[in-house]
Structure 1
Amino acid sequence: MMKDKYNAIGLMSGTSLDGLDIAHCFFVLRDGEWLFTLDNSVGIEYPDTLRDQLKNSVNLPAIDLLLLNIEFGKWLGDQVKQFMSDKNIKIDFVASHGHTVFHQPDKGLTYQIGSGQELANSCGTKVICDFRSLDVALGGQGAPLVPIGDQRLFSEFDFCLNLGGIANVSFDLDGKRVAYDVCPANMLLNHLMAQVGKVYDENGEMARSGEVCDDLLQSLNALDYYELPFPKSLGYEWFCAEVIPLVDNYPCSLADKLCTAVHHTAFQVSKDLSAFHSGGEAKLFATGGGARNTFLIETLNHYLNKESIKVIIPESQIVDFKEAIVFAFMGVKRLRGEINCLKSVTGASADSSSGVIYYPH
């Protein structure tokens, strides 16, 4: 008989490279509905050397990438072990997203590093990871993955928006959950801030001080990706090839580039949501690091105001750790052999129970 209660840790390492999110969650199945509590959480900034390695991982020779996979897996396990010791907790398993290096689903390729076996060995606990590969092998995008959590844990909202390295959205359409990557978000802002040695633009204050570069904004909005139908997803390689050359080579100030980037993200999100808003007031649940960017949220509200879509930002722990929570939930579904990856979201040939299980040795 399957359990109806699970004590788990979810790990999220996003494309914005701002660090590792650890969420200790308790899940209970009651009357067919999943409920959860977030009992403990912590965000750990990457050491500078590790951040640089992860950022450059897409360019590494094969042997060096495989070695980084091992090193990063051990580092993840060490953080989990320390977290469990500090909080004096025991868990059923760890579910880890890993760090995405390559994501080219049209070629059947997706690769996240952070060795599940090294992670399990280091923390001494069962690990579930590699949530994307099965879906990609079934012809899907392997992304976004969070919509199963949006559907089962946050169903009271009309739209769920994650403003991480990439902005992605999920919602119900014609009785099915759909979702896709909309555009770059923190990935672009943080890339720009790195030029002045900072990890991010706190509250969007530098962006607020700038002005929109109309030509640059038009060039960004004209990127071919935005005309593609969903399901669709973005990766760091696309960002490097299509976005970085536009912003790095444009002759305007850093503040103006940041301001333009904020307007680009807000415009693309509002454009897409307005196309699927059926009328009346709708609730948009916004999480991820970008939900803490005051200027980005103000700009998003500016674009959405005429659509009667209300942006709702939850308590800070949910803002920061929602994706880690959902990966823990995906681990629950994987252990139960239940669907955690939706073909209606990814375009795969079938729903799947995704994730590879590793046991400590």
Structure 2
Amino acid sequence: MPDPIAADADRESSAIDSTVDRLDAALLGGNRTLTLRDLAARSGPGVGLEDARLFWATLGLPQADPDAPVFTEDDVAALARISALVVSGAMERHTATTLTRALGHTSERLVLWQVEALVEDTAARYALDDTSARLVVLDNLAEIGPMLEAQLVHSWRRHLVSYAGRMAVEFGDAHASQKPDPTELPLARAVGFADMVSFTRRTAELGPNDLSALVHRFETAARDVVTAAGGRVVKTIGDAVLFIADDVVTGARVALGLAQTLGAELDAEAALQAAGLAEAARGETPVRVGFVQGRVLSRFGDVFGASVNVAARLTDIAEPSTVLTDEVTAALLAADPRYRLEPQEPRELAGLGTITPYLLSPASPRAE
């Protein structure tokens, strides 16, 4: 007599295989009929097996057996495009690798973010457990995937044009004859951190849904405040956000906006969505902010430099809902009537020596 449990498992496996096939047809351009060797051979002159293997690895995708048919014609087109730039001499090999790695890293995180959001939405709307919600989302990805792809392309284009516009404004009047200091980091930027106070204690008793809601509220509110004030979010790190701005005044506006607004917004959301839950989900959720003006290096979607380290250390010692900056930045803002700067006791900061922090606050309730 056939095993009904085994039969159910076979039907579920067949359904999942069918879903994957529909996804391949919708997003990969057809069936996976090509091997890694085929991918290399069909991607143009000068492309070898190791080039194909490196391309796949830098996308962050699992390595395939060279003779396993896992690739499609779209994969050939993608490798051919980037390889042609290298073979023609229009781009260095390491640059092509960096561009591909950037796509892989960003795409992986984006897919994770989007799919988890769809799972959470499906579970909430249809009162499903996590596993059931994931199966529903999986079954619908072939239909929703092209829409997500179109939105990604639109967003990427807008951001590329926006970045080009900022570059044109900042460097349009620069002259090639002006030789920069080779020892100086290239970009003058305001950089800062906002860190949620007592994050570990506040989240210790939260379940996965409430923790997800808290982190989502924090990231959403932080990005909204930073963008509205004229800055840009570099990255979020769970309970912290790293931001930059093109000038010191914009940086100050972002920093004060985060300190003054974020806790209140998170608290209001928590009151509406998590009333009656654990103590960690109630009460104020303030942030501490440190920001400085300095020079940074922008690489790999991140920023580096001494000023980033200073901002991080100032965040560590700031009081809840306050902004600390350093003496150099305070001097740049000293003549601006919208801000008040109060020197604090000198502090010894790890790896940086003794620094005199300055408390930044609005000069009046209406200061921007």
**Band the TM-score falls in, shorter-chain normalisation:** under 0.3
Quick one: higher RCO (CA 8 Å, sep 6+), 1 or 2? 1
TM-score by length of 1: 0.25
TM-score by length of 2: 0.24
- The structure richer in helix per residue is 2
- The structure richer in strand per residue is 1
**Largest Rg, 1 or 2:** 2
